[in-house]
Amino acid sequence: MTQTSRLSAVQASYDTVAVDCARLLGGDLEGRPLDRAVLNAFAEYVRGGGGGAVADLGCGTGRVTAYLDGLGVRAFGVDLSPAMVAVARRSYPGLRFEVGRMAGLDMADGVLGGVLAWYSTVHTPPGELPAVFAEFARVLAPGGHVLVAFEAEDGVRRLEHAYGHPVDLDVYGTPPELIAPLLAGAGLAEVARMVREPGAHEHGLQGFLLARKAPRGPAA
Ligand SMILES: C[S@@+](CC[C@H](N)C(=O)[O-])C[C@H]1O[C@@H](n2cnc3c(N)ncnc32)[C@H](O)[C@@H]1O
C-alpha cells in the first residue's frame, strides 16, 4: 500500500466513524486518571515555557483539545478526516479545528509551544515516523514540548470494524524504546515516559512519551 492510499483509507475510515466515535468515546478521559495526569503535566510544561499555542495533531472529535483548553492552554486541533473536524467544530464551537496532515502541516517554523499526538500516530508505519517527528520539531518553538500517546506493544493490529462500522485500518504498536530514539533523531529529547496496563476497550500496554525541543542557546 502506498502512503497516499493508506492515508485515504485512514481518512475514509474516520469519516465513517466520526459521529459514533464522538458519541461512544465522549468522556473517555474521565475514567483514566493517569492519562489526565500526563496531559496535566504537559499543559504545565507548556504554560511554564511561555504558553505558546498547542496543536492537537490527529485531534479526532476534539475531546483532548477541549481538555487542554480547560487547563488554560491555547489549544487547536488538526485532523486528516473532514468528518472528524466537523464533529469537533460542532462539539466545541469556541475552539479552532482544521483539516490537515501531520507530516505536512500548513504552519510556519517554530510557532508552537506544544504538539500533542494522542493516539494519532498509531496508523503511521514506524518507517514513516521520522518524517512525522521532523515535522513536529519544525513547527515547535525552541524549548517547546511534544507529548505522544500510543499503543506500546510491538506489532500490527488489523481493524476492520470500529464503533459499529466497517473500517480499513492498521494499528501499529511501537514500544517507547522505539519511539524515544526516533523523537531524539528529530531533535526532540526525552523528558519522561509512562507505560500503563490497558484499561477498558484498550489493547495491550499503553505508552506516553514527553519530549522537548532544545531551547535557544545564548546569543554568541
Ligand atoms: C485513534 S484516533 C484519536 C483521536 C484523538 N486524538 C482522540 O484521542 O480522541 C486517530 C485520529 O488521528 C487522525 N489521523 C491519523 N493519521 C493522521 C495524519 N497522518 N494526519 C492527521 N490526522 C491523522 C485520524 O483521522 C483520527 O481522527
| Residue of 52, 51, 111, 105 lying closest to 79 (CA atoms) | 105
SS3 content of the chain, % helix, strand, coil (to 5): 40, 30, 30
Counting Cα atoms < 13 Å in the Cβ hemisphere of 169 gives 24
Measuring from each residue's beta carbon to the nearest atom of ligand 1, which residues come in under 6 Å?
Answer: 7, 10, 14, 57-61, 63-64, 79-81, 84, 101-103, 118-120, 123
What cell numbers appear for 208 in the block? Answer: 506516553
For residue 55, pLDDT over 60 is answered with: yes
* Distance from the Cα of residue 119 to its chain's centroid: 5
Q: Please report the domains of the chain, with CATH numbers, ordered by start residue.
A: 3-213 (3.40.50.150)
Testing ligand 1's pocket by substitution, the residue of 16, 123, 165 carrying the most ligand atoms inside 8 A of its CB is: 123
Encode pLDDT of 67-98 as tens digits.
Answer: 999 999 999 999 999 999 999 999 999 999 99
What is the whole-number distance in angstroms between the Cα of residue 210 and the centre of ligand 1?
18
**pLDDT, average across residues 110-126:** 97
The confidence score (pLDDT) of residue 125 equals 96
The confidence score (pLDDT) of residue 216 equals 84
The confidence score (pLDDT) of residue 24 equals 79
| Residue of 108, 105, 56 lying closest to 84 (CA atoms) | 56
Q: Are 79 and 85 in contact (CB under 8 A)?
A: yes
Q: Are 206 and 195 in contact (CB under 8 A)?
A: yes
Q: Are 77 and 97 in contact (CB under 8 A)?
A: yes
Which residue, by CA, sits nearest to atom 4 of ligand 1?
A: 60
75/216 Cα distance (integer angstroms): 23
The confidence score (pLDDT) of residue 163 equals 86
